[in-house]
Chain A
Amino acid sequence: GDSVTQMEGPVTLSEEAFLTINCTYTATGYPSLFWYVQYPGEGLQLLLKATKADDKGSNKGFEATYRKETTSFHLEKGSVQVSDSAVYFCALRSQGGSEKLVFGKGTKLTVNP
């Protein structure tokens, strides 16, 4: 079945450091790919998404490019802030009519001032 693998955390960075969180997937066809963020005490929020190969999703300085050849959707940010501290989830939605999302295990990011 479909699956998502993302890098193990936790990740600790200093403010203004570069961030990469790796995400790879296994799925048939062309799934849609997502990054969700969960701030402490809050629900998951959609951070960005890409629905076809070579699409780049971006939001709040975060970017991720849908790479079909490497089945990857790595999350990057050039300069993180303390307020970016959260848990980040990579997810996919299979091609076709299903609404179901498949999530990775999540990566906790802590940014220190």
Chain B
Amino acid sequence: GAVVSQHPSWVICKSGTSVKIECRSLDFQATTMFWYRQFPKQSLMLMATSNEGSKATYEQGVEKDKFLINHASLTLSTLTVTSAHPEDSSFYICSASPGGQLLREQYFGPGTRLTVT
């Protein structure tokens, strides 16, 4: 149980275009979803936290207008990288949490490799 999927697993796009990444909780309802960015040989850096039906909370230094997050249902969150540039190339990972005091576990997706040319 507690499976999280991401789609696509990898994507290549041209500079200036937008890319949407989906994160789905397959067998549970995710009250909260998280988006991380991972650079090679670096830690996962939290980009934003989203709760179903409300606006995402972005970490300091993350551009809200560039990384659009939508959490429209309890099983789906999307990250759209708008007007992507080569420096946005990275590994993007989502996680989902069922929520509640006793259910604070985060379950991670397999990640999406974005390459901007």
- Report if A and B associate in a common complex: yes
A residues contacting B by CB (< 8 A) are: 4, 36, 41-46, 89, 93, 99-106
- Do A99 and B43 touch across chains, with their CB atoms under 8 A apart? no
Q: Is B104 an interface residue (CB 8 A)?
A: yes
B1-41 interface (Cβ within 8 A of A): 4, 6, 32, 34, 41
Q: What chain B residues lie within 8 Å of A43 (beta carbons)?
A: 4, 6, 93, 108-111
- Do A99 and B97 touch across chains, with their CB atoms under 8 A apart? yes
What is the predominant secondary structure among interface residues of chain B facing chain A?
strand
What is the predominant secondary structure among interface residues of chain A facing chain B?
strand
Q: What chain B residues lie within 8 Å of A99 (beta carbons)?
A: 32, 34, 49, 97, 104, 106
Whether A100 contacts B46 in the complex (CB less than 8 A), given A43-B111, A105-B41, comes out as yes
Q: Is B54 an interface residue (CB 8 A)?
A: no
B41-59 interface (Cβ within 8 A of A): 41-44, 46, 49
State the CA gap A19–B2 with chains docked (Å): 29
- Do A101 and B106 touch across chains, with their CB atoms under 8 A apart? yes
**A36 nearest in chain B by CB position:** B108
State the CA gap A106–B91 with chains docked (Å): 15
State the CA gap A4–B104 with chains docked (Å): 20
11 new A-B contacts at CB < 8 Å, known A101-B106, A102-B46 = A41-B110, A43-B4, A43-B6, A43-B108, A43-B109, A43-B110, A44-B108, A99-B97, A101-B34, A103-B44, A104-B43
- Do B43 and A44 touch across chains, with their CB atoms under 8 A apart? no
Q: Which one of B43, B95, B108 has the highest number of Cβ atoms from chain A below 10 Å of its Cβ?
A: B43
State the CA gap A2–B66 with chains docked (Å): 26
> What are 18 A-B contacts defined by CB distance under 8 Å?
A36-B108, A43-B4, A43-B110, A43-B111, A44-B93, A44-B95, A45-B108, A89-B44, A93-B104, A99-B34, A99-B97, A100-B49, A101-B34, A101-B106, A102-B46, A105-B41, A105-B42, A106-B42
Q: What chain A residues lie within 8 Å of B108 (beta carbons)?
A: 36, 43-45
